[in-house]
Amino acid sequence: MILWFSLTVFVLSCFIGYFVVWGVTPALHAPLMSVSNAISGIVIIGALMTAAYADSEKTEALSLAAVFLASVNIFGGFAVSQRMLGLFKKKDKK
């Protein structure tokens, strides 16, 4: 049951992703890469869950490493995007 529910969400989200990305202007494809990259850092939620419910130290260590990596991904991704978009905004005002 839960699998069908998940699958529904998955497929519908693919369609949303498809249409939303077609709407992105080619000039902003580089920021699109880094924004979606930062967003894919959402795996951190999975890492947090496995870390909190870890049965052994080994699991905990693996999960904490995953939390760390995803965190780098999120912060790095958003920082890079912000800088890139700042470049585009700067001369818009001019």
Partner 1 sequence: MIENEWLFLIYLLAGCLFILSIRGLSSPQTASRGNWLGMAGMLLAVDGTLLALPAQNHLLIFAALLSGGVVGLIGGLKVKITALPQMIAILNGLGGLSSALIGLAEILDGNANVYEVSVALFVGGAACSGSLVAFGKLQSILGAKFGRFPLQNFFNILISIGLLCTWIFFITHPSFFNATILLCAALAWGVLIILPIGGADMPIIIAVLNACSGWAAAGIGFSLANVALIMTGALVGAGGTILAFVMTKAMNRSLWAVMFTRLSDKTGALDSGEHEAKSGSPIDAAFILQNAHKVIIVPGYGMAVAQAQHILQTMASILSKKYNVEVKFAIHPVAGRMPGHMNVLLAEANVPYEDVYALENINREFASADAAYVIGANDITNPIARTDPASPLYGMPVLDVGKAKTVFFVKRSLNSGYAGVENPLFYAPNTVMLYGDAKKVTEEIVEVLERS
Q: How many residues bind partner 1 (CB under 8 A)?
A: 84
> b/e map of 62-80 (b: 16 or more CB within 10 Å)?
ebeebbeebeebbeebbeb
Asked if residue 70 lies in contact with residue 44, where contact means CB atoms within 8 angstroms, the answer is yes
CB 51 to partner 1: min, Å: 5
Asked if residue 50 lies in contact with residue 66, where contact means CB atoms within 8 angstroms, the answer is yes
Q: What character string, x for contact with partner 1 (CB under 8 A) and - otherwise, covers 10-29?
A: xx-xxxxxx-xxxxxxxxxx
CB 57 to partner 1: min, Å: 10
Local structure of residue 36 (DSSP, 8 states):
H
Residues 60-89 binding partner 1 (CB under 8 A) are: 60, 62-89
CB 84 to partner 1: min, Å: 6
Question: How far separated are the first and last CA of the chain, in Å rounded?
Answer: 56
Binding flag, residue 4, partner 1 (CB under 8 A):
no
Binding flag, residue 42, partner 1 (CB under 8 A):
yes
Binding flag, residue 93, partner 1 (CB under 8 A):
no
